[in-house]
Structure 1
Amino acid sequence: MIEELKTFIAVVDKKSFTKAANFINISQPSVSSHIAILEKYFNTRLIERSNKQRNILITQTGKILYERAKQLLGFLEETKEELSSYHNSISGTLKLGSSMTIGEFLLPSILGDFIKEFPKTKLEVTIENTKHIYDKFKNYDIDIALIEGTVPVHNYVHKNFYKDTMVIVAPNSFCGNNDLKLRDYLSRQTWIHREEGSGTGENLNIFLNNEGISPKNFIVLGSNYAIKEAVKNNLGITFISSLVVNEAVKNREIEIIPTKTEYNRYFSYMVHEKSISRLAALFIKKLQLYSNM
């Protein structure tokens, strides 16, 4: 309807279908079509045409619509400028803290979209394990914490936003033994573990306890990439986010050990309940677009 109204205004201003068509760079039949659409929509005759269609006469209802159309289009243009100004006026510094898996595999694309929409924003991003991020958050060193482990919740807003699948991964040399139960096989392996305080390490401990698995040995490494590479190089097996290993599995560098049960955990965000800034609220809104829940 906006384009039809623009066409109508041009016809009235130019007092000619031909001149209006040239002015707004559309064909004359399109001008006639736009006017017909408006007349049908408003159920009134807007323009009287002479037999030779050289002269036009604006009807009384046409004059009313002409004034209203100019007002409406002016209001829309003001609104467009206001919204543009709103986005361009968003500025300041947002301090984010993220645990490792989120920071390595989800956060970059989220931040890319956020900066594209709010280019004047400055970001300070810390990526550490869940415990360290939580400590910074409760000391107000960061505005938003993105975590994958469990932490004490006091006067904070704490909400899940993403369901992550955890998988057992092994070197490509893995060979299941039909004479052994999976639990027995897994207990005989060296397990590659994240450091204390990490969400991934916490979930590995929960998995081992729930399944009654007592590994013969552990290797502790401080990053998801190091763990993936260790598995790839036959140092052991691990229990880790599918986000970390999907590409390596696809490239047949490592393989997933099938389990009867699907193991999931949740990524969550935390903000200080009484001091959430406009910038933090906008980031959370963007974050929720990436939710798979």
Structure 2
Amino acid sequence: MVEELKTFIAVVDNKSFTKAANSINISQPGVSLHIANLEKYFGTKLIERSNKQRTILITSTGKILYKRAKQILSLLNETKEELNNYTYSPSGTLKLGSSMTIGEFILPKILGDFIKEYPNVKIEVTIENTKHIYDKFKNYDIDVALIEGNVPLENYMLKNFYKDTMVVVSHSSFKYDKNIELNKFLSNQTWIHREEGSGTGENLNTFLNIENIYPKNIIILGSNYAIKQAVKNNLGITFISSLVVKDDVKNKDLKIIPTKTEYHRYFSYLCHKNNLSKVAELFIQKLNDL
């Protein structure tokens, strides 16, 4: 039917079967057959032909079909483009940088969904602390940076995409003396701390300052896993994302020490303005949908 409609439009536009045949590159008998098929399908005469004058006349119903045929073909073309855009699978390389907590607990699920939807995209991921990721981002070694700490505000786009909860965590056997003010009690503890440049470490410092806690001792370790293992081995307490210790608290290997105030922070993404690839745009859309 689509080819017949194209032929009919060509006949009307050219006002000739012969010219129509030449314009769409089919035989003149082919044109006649297409018109006959349409007239049979719609049950009406579409074109009156004069053999003597070798002219054609478009009937009233033919004029209606001509208008509708153009609309139908236009809609089909739009639909084809829409479907092509929908099914087209972008390709290329997406370079991501992620701070530790995001890289360990948020990014795997996002990437799993992203790769399923865009299987032709190659992903390169760097997971380090916030400072190192930010430095790589500034040097354009990373397309999109996922961070959990503060960075200098410069000429790039920064947007929050996830609200995280921070908690004080101890070994499951840890006992808190409620007769002592919390800040004084916690000041008398060994704290397990992340290295300088870490977003988690930055948040721990903020918490200690707000609560007026002055640790008796500090142990510095370079990863969430190392900190969690240190606390599980009763080496001290820490202030860390609830994502890191959720399962351990549930299994009663660790426990959360309640604080009067709930502490939250935001995970953010950075991208360079006016310099985003299509695959980076698609990934950011995933982040915005969280």
Q: Report the TM range for the smaller structure's normalisation.
A: 0.7 to 0.9
**Structure 2 residue aligned with 1:172:** 172
The answer as to 2:161 corresponding to 1:184 is no
Alignment-mate amino acid for residue 137 of structure 2 = F
**Other structure's SS at 1:163 match:** strand
CA distance in 2, matches of 1:76, 1:273: 31
SS at match of 1:170: strand
Question: For residue 208 of structure 1, what is the aligned residue in structure 2?
Answer: 208
SS of structure 2 residue aligned to 1:154: coil
CA distance in 2, matches of 1:136, 1:70: 52
Task: Give distance in 2, aligned partners of 1:247 and 1:73.
Answer: 54
SS at match of 1:191: strand
1:113 deviates by: 1.0
The one-letter amino acid of 1:83's match is N
Question: Secondary structure at the residue paired with 2:274?
Answer: coil
CA distance in 1, matches of 2:145, 2:83: 34
Deviation sequence 1:213-236 (CA, Å, 0-9, x none): 000001111111111111111010
Are the structure 2 counterparts of residues 186 and 58 from structure 1 closer, same or farther at C-alpha, using a change threshold of 3 Å? farther
Note the alpha carbon deviations across 1:44-73, whole angstroms, 9 max, x for none.
xxxxxxxxxxxxx9899xx97x97997698
- In the alignment, the residues of structure 1 paired with residue 182 and residue 72 of structure 2 have an alpha-carbon distance, to the nearest angstrom, of 74
Superposition deviation, residue 84 in structure 1 = 3.9
Aligned to 2:151: 151
Q: In structure 2, do the counterparts of structure 1 residues 77 and 158 end up closer, same or farther at CA, with 3 Å as the change threshold?
A: closer
In 1, the alpha carbon distance for the partners of 2:179 and 2:276 equals 57
Poorly superposed stretches of 4+, deviation over 6 Å: 57-60, 66-70
In 2 relative to 1, CA 69–58 (structure 1 residues): closer, same or farther, beyond 3 Å? Answer: farther
Partner of 2:132: 132
* Counterpart for residue 230 of structure 2: 230
Question: How far did 1:81 drift?
Answer: 3.4
Offset of residue 185 of structure 1: 1.1
Deviation at 1:269, TM superposition (A): 0.5
Equivalent position amino acid for 2:279 in 1: L
Cα offsets for 1:121-148 (capped at 9, x unmatched): 0111000000000000001111111000
Q: Distance in 1 between matches of 2:43 and 2:286?
A: 49
Distance, in Å, in 2 between the alignment partners of 1:287 and 1:171 is 34
Matched position secondary structure for 1:111: helix
TM-score, normalization by structure 1: 0.73
The aligned residue for residue 6 of structure 1 is: none
2:246 pairs with 1:246: yes
Superposed displacement of residue 279, structure 1: 1.5
Equivalents in 1 of 2:147, 2:241: separation in Å? 13
- Higher mean alpha-carbon deviation, 269-278 vs 253-262, is at 269-278
Letter in 2 for 1:177: D
Per the alignment, in what secondary structure is the counterpart of residue 203 of structure 2? helix
Pick closer, same or farther for the CA change 1:274–1:76 going to 2, 3 Å.
closer
Alignment length (residue pairs): 231
Cα drift, residue 74 of structure 1: 4.3
Q: CA RMSD in A?
A: 2.3
The residue aligned with 2:258 is 258
Moved more, 94-103 or 72-81: 72-81
What is the deviation of 1:187? Answer: 0.5
Whether 1:276 aligns to 2:271 is no
Aligned sequence identity (%): 64
Shift of 1:160: 1.0
Which has more radius of gyration?
2
Distance in 1 (alpha carbons) for counterparts of 2:238 and 2:134: 25
Aligned match of 2:83: 81
Instruction: Read off the aligned partner of 1:143 and give its amino acid letter.
Output: D
Deviations 1:90-135 (A, max 9, x none): 1111110000000000001111111111111011100000000000
The offset of 1:274, in angstroms, is: 2.9
The aligned counterpart of 2:102 is 102
